[in-house]
Amino acid sequence: MTNLFFIVDKIHLIQRAVYMEFNLVAEGLKFMVLGMVTVFLFLILMVIILNFQAKIVSRFFPPKVVDSASNRVPLAKSSVKKDNNAMVAAITAAIMTHKKQIVKKESDVKKIH
């Protein structure tokens, strides 16, 4: 008879443990959903506030319109070619310097090993 009570008691404890485990999982899911909804609502609120702020700023501080056609200065073809040659020379010098640094680093690594 005591074995029967012992078995019934064990079954009851297992049922309570399963129920508690299910309850903990349900609580975890509730908190997860609550957190996700909170973050989603915060982000929606932030977007609305930033859009409202952008409208206010653009109303009081409108962007300046620059007429790009009136600011252009016609360049002679020789000056453009000269600037292009200077740019090519600068790029070539930068590439050569970079290659020298890579070779130096590789030789330093070979010395270590």
Q: Look-up: residue for tokens 């070979």?
A: 110
Phi-psi bin for 33: left (phi > 0), alpha (psi -120 to 50), beta?
alpha
Q: Looking at the structure, do residues 54 and 93 belong to the same domain, yes or no?
A: no
Residue 69 belongs to some domain of the structure: no
Q: Rounded to whole angstroms, how far apart are CA atoms 16 and 25?
A: 14
For residues 18 and 50, state if they share a domain.
Answer: yes
54 & 99 share domain: no
Are residues 45 and 5 part of one domain? yes
Alpha-carbon distance of 51 to 44, in angstroms, equals 11
Query: pLDDT tens across 5-56, in order?
Result: 667 777 777 777 777 777 788 888 999 999 999 999 999 999 999 999 999 9
**What do you get for the CA distance between the two ends of the chain, in Å?**
79
Is residue 112 in some structural domain? yes
How many whole angstroms separate alpha carbon 68 and alpha carbon 70? 6
Backbone angles phi, psi at 75, to 5 degrees: -105, 145
Residues 6 and 57 in one domain: yes
* Lowest-pLDDT range of 33-37, 65-69, 107-111: 107-111
* Higher pLDDT pick, 97 / 11: 97
> Do residues 31 and 80 share a domain?
no
The verdict on residue 70 lying in a domain is no
Residue 39 lies in a domain: yes
Provide the domain count of the chain: 2
Q: Which domain holds residue 29?
A: 1-63
Encoded tokens for 77: 């073809």
- Whether 54 and 87 share a structural domain: no
Rounded Cα–Cα distance for residues 85 and 79 (Å): 10
pTM of the model: 0.42
